[in-house]
A and B are shown apart, each in its own frame.
Chain A
Amino acid sequence: MIEIEDLQYRWPGDEHDTLSIERLTVESGERFFLRGPSGCGKSTLLSLLGGILVPDSGKVTVNDKVINRLTATQRDRWRSDNLGLIFQQFNLLPFLSVTENVLLPCRFSKLRLNRATSGGHTPVEEARRLLQALDLNPEDFSGTVGNLSVGQQQRVAAARALIGAPPLILADEPTAALDAETRDRFISLLLDEASAAGSTVLVVSHDLGMIPSFDRDMDLMSLNNNSSSVTSGDS
Chain B
Amino acid sequence: MTVLRLAFASLWNRRSTVVLTVLAIAMSVALLLTVERVRHETRNSFANTVSGTDLIVGARSGSVQLLLYSVFRIGNATNNISWESYQDISRHPEVEWMLPVSLGDSHRGFRVMGTSQAYFTRFSYGRKRQLRFTDGQPFDDVFDAVLGAKVASALGYELGQSIIMSHGLGEGAIYTHDGQPFQVSGILAPTGTPVDRTIHVSLEGIEAMHVDWQQGAKIPGKETSLDEIRQRELIPKAVTAALIGLKRKTSTFRVQRFINEYREEPLLAILPGVALQELWGLLGVAEKALFLVSLFVVLAGLVGLVAVLMAGLAERRREMAILRSVGARPWQVFGLLCLESLLLTLLAIGVGLLLFYAVFLLGSQWLSSSYGLDMTLGLPLLREWGILGILVLAGLLAGVLPGLRAYGQSLADGMSIRV
Residue from B10, B326, B330 in contact with A108 in the complex, judged by beta carbons closer than 8 Å: B326
Rounded to whole Å, the gap between the CB of A57 and the closest CB of chain B is 20
Residues on the B chain within 8 Å of A104, using CB: 323, 326-327
| B318, CB-defined interface residue at 8 Å | yes
* Contact A52-B326, Cβ < 8 Å, known A93-B319, A95-B12: no
Interface size on B, residues (CB 8 A): 21
Please determine whether A90 and B326 come into contact, CB atoms closer than 8 angstroms: no
- B2 contacts the other chain (CB 8 A): yes
Q: Which residues of A contact B332 (CB under 8 A)?
A: 108
A79 at interface, CB cutoff 8 A:
yes
B205 CB to closest chain A CB, in angstroms? 74
CB closest chain-A residue, reference B11: A95
Given the interface pairs A47-B416, A90-B417, the reply to whether A80 lies near B322 with Cβ below 8 Å is: no
Q: Is B250 located at the chain interface by the 8 A CB criterion?
A: no
Closest chain A CB from B4 CB (angstroms): 11
| Residues on the A chain within 8 Å of B169, using CB | none
Within 8 Å of chain B (Cβ to Cβ): is A28?
A: no
Task: Tell me whether A50 and B326 are in contact in the complex, defined as CB-CB below 8 angstroms, given that A93-B319, A95-B10 are known contacts.
Answer: no
A52 in contact with B414 given A96-B9, A105-B327, A109-B327 (CB within 8 Å): yes
- List which A92-108 residues lie within 8 A (CB) of chain B: 92-96, 100, 104-105, 107-108
- A76: CB under 8 A from chain B? yes
B325 close to A87 (CB less than 8 A): yes
Q: Which chain B residues border A40 with CB–CB below 8 Å?
A: none
**Chain B stretch 384-419: residues in CB contact (< 8 A) with chain A:** 414-417
Task: Please judge, given known A-B contacts A80-B327, A104-B326, A108-B326, whether A85 and B415 are in contact too, CB under 8 Å.
Answer: yes
Closest A residue to B419 by beta carbon equals: A90
Q: Which residues of chain A are near B347, meaning CB under 8 Å? A: none
**Does B328 count as interface, using CB distance less than 8 angstroms?**
yes
In the complex, are the beta carbons of B328 and A47 less than 8 A apart?
Answer: no
B319 cross-chain contacts in A, Cβ below 8 A:
93
Q: Are A91 and B322 interface neighbours, CB within 8 A?
A: yes
- The 0/1 profile, CB within 8 Å of A marked 1, for residues 318-359 of chain B is 110011011111101000000000000000000000000000
Whether B327 lies near A43 (C-beta < 8 A) is: no
Residues of B near A107 (CB, < 8 A) are 2, 326-327
Q: Is B87 an interface residue (CB 8 A)?
A: no
Q: Which residues of chain A are within 8 angstroms of B326 by Cβ–Cβ distance?
A: 80, 85, 104-105, 107-108, 160
The answer, among A53, A77, A92, A109, for a CB contact under 8 Å with B322, is: A92
A47-B416, A76-B329 known; A90-B2 Cβ under 8 A: no
A195 to B415, CA, bound (A): 25
**Bound-state Cα–Cα, A234 to B417, Å:** 11
Q: Which residues on the B side are within 8 Å of A109 (C-beta)?
A: 327
Question: Given A73-B329, A80-B326: A95 and B9 within 8 A (CB)?
Answer: yes
Question: What residues on B are CB-neighbors of A73 within 8 Å?
Answer: 329
Cα of A76 to Cα of B334 in the assembled complex, Å: 15
| B13 adjacent to chain A (CB < 8 Å) | yes
Q: Are B327 and A50 in contact (CB under 8 A)?
A: no
**CB-CB < 8 A to B318: which residues of A?**
90
Q: Which of B13, B325, B417 has the most CB of A within 10 A?
A: B325
Could you give, for residues 43-61 of chain A, a 1 whenever the CB lies within 8 Å of some chain B CB and a 0 otherwise? 1000100101100000000
Is A108's CB under 8 angstroms from B327's CB? yes
A204 to B62, CA, bound (A): 89
Whole-angstrom CA separation of A109 from B325 in the bound complex: 12
Q: Considering the chains assembled together, what is the distance between the CA atoms of A234 and B326 in angstroms?
A: 21
- Tell me the nearest residue of chain A to B319, going by C-beta: A93
Which residues of A are at the interface with B, using a C-beta cutoff of 8 A? 43, 47, 50, 52-53, 73, 76-77, 79-81, 85, 87-88, 90-96, 100, 104-105, 107-109, 112, 160, 172, 234
Additional pairs, 11, CB under 8 Å, beyond known A76-B327, A85-B325: A47-B416, A52-B415, A87-B415, A94-B13, A95-B12, A104-B326, A105-B327, A107-B327, A109-B327, A160-B326, A234-B416
List the interface of chain B (C-beta within 8 A of A): 2, 6, 9-10, 12-13, 318-319, 322-323, 325-330, 332, 414-417
Q: List 14 A-B contacts (CB under 8 A).
A: A50-B414, A50-B415, A52-B416, A85-B415, A87-B325, A87-B417, A93-B10, A95-B12, A95-B13, A105-B327, A108-B2, A108-B326, A108-B328, A234-B416
